[in-house]
Amino acid sequence: MSDQIYLIPEIHKSSPFFWAQHAEQVSLMPIPISGVKLYADTKELDSYASLRTIIVVEQETKTSKLYPVRFTKKVPNFEAHGFSIKQCPHGNIVYMKLEDFWKINKNSSFVAISDGDWLCSKKHYKITAALYHLSLLPSLNKAVFRTQIDSKIEEDLNLMYDVSGEILEMLTLIFKNVVFGLEFFGFCNDCSEEQKRRLLHIKDRLQTRKVCVAFSQIDFAILNYNMFCYKTDSCRITSYSYLHLMKTLNIVERIIIQLGFPVSKNKRFESLTHNIKKIQKEFHIPITGICDQQTLQKLWSNTIVKSVQMKSIFKDLGTTSEEPKKEQILIQCLPDDTPAQKVLAENINRFIGKIPITSNASEILRENINSNLSEIAQRCGTLSQRINNIVKRTDNATNVVHRLESSNSRCDESLEKAAITLNQVLEDHRKVQQQFVEIRESITAQKKRNMVLQIFGGLMLLFYLYKFIR
């Protein structure tokens, strides 16, 4: 363990990816350090598996809060991470030189922590990054982080993603659903070993933490999903793609229940995966626990077969257990266990399966219409909210443009006044300079006169001395 104290901007005790994972806090609270400024990497804000999220950059006029730590194991190679060390009364500041910072910030992915206090700003920055990955914010620039999350954004989240509650609870629920949905349908398979580590890490964190939002950590799976379903190379979720994923998951769950496999409400995700393995074993397909295309086809085809079985068909037609079964009457005309009897049973099944059920057709039609209308209303509401947001942003942009125009006009006036003042100063300077020239010429002439007088005085002195000696 090193006895030296180092000052760093963030602590990640449970992350094996963090560059300073063996850092032990000397003080629970950060301390203000002069001459440095904090910058956050917007690409890693909502990730728990980043090498670093916050960077300390030298800047003489700024003050930021840093954590004093000791390293319980070998001190990291700071140069390998692009850091330098500078001593101060509180310890060794782990910072990045300004020229090195601009090299890694070519794409402007870093934003400044305005108040220099990451502990107080952390929640706001992470929520903002999550809302961006849910397509509720257009970008992650400086202006976005300076704006506080208001109730309007929470209303949009409620409406567009069909959730309710406190904003971090809603984001955690959405993230948990997205992680399971993408893994359940196999969109997490096509990834590198490092991405697998990141996925396992976030799954473990979801099991132990009440709040967990890290869309950046599963961006590869979101990209696979968007490429497969929508042919877009985006790493962001939209309300439509999220609801589509959840709707598909719910349909598969209903099919599994219909096939006779119970799904636990308390452990829904684990239960679905366990049942998929059972179904794959029963259908003699590779047991992966992933509901891939082959498994989906088997589920769908089996559901269709079960839905046209004799008993369920006659039950839907309104027959009771006391009534004679039509298929039994027909089959009894043939000897038992004959190929002809089996063929007849299959033909009856096929024929009756084509008969429309008129008794509850209106009810089914009404349910379908209501479901479609509800979905259309939800999409219209979402579209309306988006239009309102666009109008609001347009108004804000217009106001900003007006303010800029007004500022430009004032700047033009100030520049004109400054130009006039500068001309006056130049004219005064020219006059002063001319006066200096005249004074210099006068001094030169006076020097010449003084020299003549001195020579004449010397000659007169010599003449009087000569007369006096004689």
Chain segment 22-43, per-residue pLDDT in tens: 888 888 889 999 999 999 999 8
Instruction: State the pLDDT at residue 129.
Output: 93
Instruction: State the pLDDT at residue 103.
Output: 86
Sequence-ordered list of residues with C-beta below 8 angstroms from that of 420, at least 6 positions apart, any chain: none
Q: What is the C-alpha separation between 49 and 46, in angstroms, rounded? A: 9
pTM for this predicted structure? 0.66
Per-residue pLDDT averaged across 320-331, rounded?
A: 40
Check residues 405 and 312 and name the one with the higher pLDDT. Answer: 405
Contact between 93 and 59 (Cβ < 8 Å): no
Summarised one tens digit per residue, pLDDT across range 259-271 is 888 888 888 888 9
| Angle 148-112-197 from CA coordinates, rounded to 5° | 90
Q: Residue 451 above 60 pLDDT?
A: yes
Nearest CA-CA partner of 347 in 332, 324, 330: 330
Q: What is the C-alpha separation between 36 and 433, in angstroms, rounded? A: 47
Summarised one tens digit per residue, pLDDT across range 361-373 is 566 667 667 777 7
Instruction: State the pLDDT at residue 318.
Output: 42
Q: What DSSP designation does 318 have?
A: T
| Angle 451-456-461 from CA coordinates, rounded to 5° | 125
Nearest CA-CA partner of 38 in 99, 108, 121: 121
Reported confidence tier of residue 178, pLDDT bands at 50, 70, 90: very high
Beta-bridge mates of residue 69:
6, 25
Instruction: State the pLDDT at residue 339.
Output: 55
